[in-house]
Amino acid sequence: MAEGTVKRKTNSGFGFIRTNRGSDIYFDVASVDGTTFAELREGQRVSYTEMITGRRKRAENVKPI
């Protein structure tokens, strides 16, 4: 599993993770596992699985570390 930091969360149920490679990856409320979207905080370390859907990457199985 990859690791990163929650960079930004919105009130609309999605956000972005700053990867260890320095890029950002999208995630949404349905991608969170082991906690709730509301409990995740900006700056918090997370692990995730990188998936490709259509033309973009997204994070699945987002879990706090």
Give tens-digit pLDDT for 6-27.
Answer: 999 999 999 999 999 999 999 9
Rounded to two decimals, the pTM is: 0.92
CB 16 within 8 A of CB 31: no
The hierarchical CATH code for the domain 2-64 is 2.40.50.140
- Predicted local confidence at residue 41, as pLDDT: 97
For residue 56, the one-letter residue type is: R
- Predicted local confidence at residue 53, as pLDDT: 83
* DSSP 8-class letter at 44: -
In angstroms, the Cα distances linking 8 to 39, 43, 48, 53, 54 are: 13, 8, 15, 21, 22
Percent pLDDT > 90 in the chain is: 92
- Predicted local confidence at residue 54, as pLDDT: 85
